[in-house]
Structure 1
Amino acid sequence: MRRSILAAAISVHACLAMTGVAQASRADQIIERIENANRWRDHVMIVAHRGGWKENGEVRWAENSKAGVRHAIALGVEMVELDVRTSKDGHYVVMHDTWLDRTTTCRGEVAARTLVELKSCHLVVEGSRDVTDEVVPTMEEMLALARGSVVVNIDNKVGPQHIPAILALARGMGMERSVIVKENIWSMERLAAIKDEVDAAGPGFRFMPIIADDAVEDARFIETVAGNFSANMIEMVAWRGDRRRLEADAGPLFRARVRAAAIRGNWHIWVNTYPIVNKPSGFLARGRGDELAVQASVPDEVYGYWAEHGATVIQTDEPKAAIEWLEQNGYRVPYDLTN
């Protein structure tokens, strides 16, 4: 009897596989790669910064917009990064700045407006000031847009105390495994404070520590942080500082001991190549950022450099350029998109 049941189960599984019914969604495949870093160290994942808003050095879409996210998904990114704030009446909305002035048709603070009021604020394309049809989106709307296609990295702009509520929202949508929340950690005291909030959020979601090399250099501390949160990845900030020339040294967070800790812990090393306004190029990446890759046309000194120094996740304002170069040079493993 057991053999006939087993044979039937195998037959059904084979039929499902042939018809594509059993095929995991792309988001599920991305999650599998996130959870198994050591199995996928020959693949570099790409995160679209602020939802995907730039291309070839120019702002093309409103940041944190649905149009930008759709384009990033079409390009093949693994994650979109979204900035989250709260409205006056406690709703989570996607907005980078404290103020509405730069990115919308409205003026004043985000937190001073109700959700209804924010829904009258149209997103604009920075630089051209072109007004879009989109209004300030809620976190729920953006998660729904990403469902099944990409993972969402939440840049929490309202403080660690909001981690439980943010994750409760994602859990209510059945998307807790597709959301990553991150916070900076630089000391044991900070670790303990963040851990209290993460523990309060409950199990079943991903928390990502951020480590910056102006505060942390000790690989043992990084390993302690990773272990406390069962982290799948750690965001590493490799400050450029006052350096005026391109250096070969990737800094303390990309040395052999940290890479060894990542392998022992089975977690990804994440680097940021996007620029910061009014700061030198590559300010978060030892001078090796998107501007060097795209405007100066030396992507091997950016995307190739960081891949060779252990990074398996790159957050960028240039996802198209990054994916194209990484694919052409053997740093990307295709997904099964037959379904």
Structure 2
Amino acid sequence: MLAAENSIAGIDACIAHGIDMVEVDLRTTRDGQLVLMHDERVDRTTNGEGAVADLTAVQIASLRIRAEGGGAQAAVTAWHPPTFAQALAAAHGKTLINLDIKAASLDQVMDEVQAAGAQRDVLMNVPLDAPASAIERAHRAGIALQVLYEQRQSQHTPEQAFRMAAAMQPAALQLMFDDVSVIDSARRIGHGQIRLFVNTMSNDIASGKPMNLSGDFTDARALRAPNAIWGALRARGISMIQTDQPLRLVQYLRSADRTSAADP
């Protein structure tokens, strides 16, 4: 891990290492401010206690972030939980921010993106049932959308879901699947116009339990055989990979691209 999750240090580290995109999680404070926090409560990732929705932005800003995956035994860093506006400023023009909106209004998120002039700096994650008005506003504002498809939880077949997603004109389609044929279905329906995004993280950072987000395509396996995991995903049309091993992935991609360029 380059730095603690949802921190300015994490964004800065991604920029320094040439990482194309960093995910952040958005929640709303008691007084209506957007802050970066993965969990509903601040307990795991900071030296504080309580639900984000019960704390003010000032109270959250006074906390300090715990290192790496957090927890009571993790070291307390010098970093404070940032606001969304601070994260946008840190990333502006330097790396893309993948917005995982945990508990926040899509309109408020877009308000802050537009106020910061950061329309080209974000990829906004939306569900298939996102309000049409929010989708239309995002397109008018030039905010790129990413639609999430979770095979285990979806009431639709992959084909049905991907046609619905395509109608939303997203820049990317994030796939969570058990059956790898889901990728092929998405590629056919997207006609190469929609980027395909997968997660290869092996274990949940909080619990340590397997995440099982992309079948057998995991970081743990990729570290042993990157071409069989990351390379195989690229060969199937995946152009965006979210990982807990960004430096190893970048190293692999650069090496693979050099090898490809050298081939006659």
User: What TM-score bracket applies, with the shorter chain setting the length?
Assistant: 0.7 to 0.9
Matched, 1:83 2:83: no
Indicate conservation of the 8 Å contact 1:282/1:291, yes or no: no
Matched, 1:115 2:115: no
Indicate conservation of the 8 Å contact 2:19/2:95, yes or no: yes
Indicate conservation of the 8 Å contact 1:64/1:95, yes or no: yes
CA RMSD of aligned residues (A): 2.3
Query: How do 1:291-302 residues align onto structure 2 when only pairs under 5 Å count?
Result: 291-294=220-223, 297-302=224-229
Larger RCO (alpha carbons 8 Å, 6+ apart):
1
Query: Following the alignment from structure 1 to structure 2, what is the Cα–Cα distance between the partners of residues 194 and 167?
Result: 14
Matched, 1:131 2:68: no
Structure 1's consecutive aligned runs of 4 or more residues displaced over 3 angstroms after TM superposition are 278-282, 331-334
Of 80, 87, 95, which residue of structure 2 is paired with 1:150? 95
Of 237, 240, 246, which residue of structure 2 is paired with 1:310? 237
Query: How do 1:44-55 residues align onto structure 2 when only pairs under 5 Å count?
Result: 54=1
* CA gap 1:298/1:202 in 2 versus in 1, 3 angstroms: closer
How far the C-alpha of 1:303 sits from its partner, in A, is: 0.8
Matched, 1:260 2:188: yes
Per-residue displacement from partner, 1:281-316 (whole Å, max 9, x unpaired)? 46001021112223xx22222211211111000011
Larger radius of gyration: 1
Per-residue displacement from partner, 1:116-142 (whole Å, max 9, x unpaired)? 111111001126511111111000001
How far the C-alpha of 1:77 sits from its partner, in A, is: 1.5
Query: How do 1:30-69 residues align onto structure 2 when only pairs under 5 Å count?
Result: 54=1, 61-69=3-11
| Number of corresponding residues | 253
Matching residue of 1:205: 143
How far the C-alpha of 1:194 sits from its partner, in A, is: 2.9
Question: Normalized against structure 1, the TM-score is what?
Answer: 0.69
Give unmatched runs, 5+ long, in structure 2: none
Amino acid at match of 1:143: L
Question: Normalized against structure 2, the TM-score is what?
Answer: 0.88
Indicate conservation of the 8 Å contact 1:154/1:179, yes or no: yes
Per-residue displacement from partner, 1:29-61 (whole Å, max 9, x unpaired)? xxxxxxxxxxxxxxxxxxxxxxxxx1xxxxx52
Query: Following the alignment from structure 1 to structure 2, what is the Cα–Cα distance between the partners of residues 111 and 218?
Result: 35
Of 142, 148, 163, which residue of structure 1 is paired with 2:106? 163
Query: How do 1:268-283 residues align onto structure 2 when only pairs under 5 Å count?
Result: 268-277=195-204, 281=210, 283=212
Matching residue of 1:184: 127
What's the % identity of the aligned pairs?
Answer: 26
Indicate conservation of the 8 Å contact 1:82/1:153, yes or no: yes
How far the C-alpha of 1:332 sits from its partner, in A, is: 10
How far the C-alpha of 1:221 sits from its partner, in A, is: 3.8
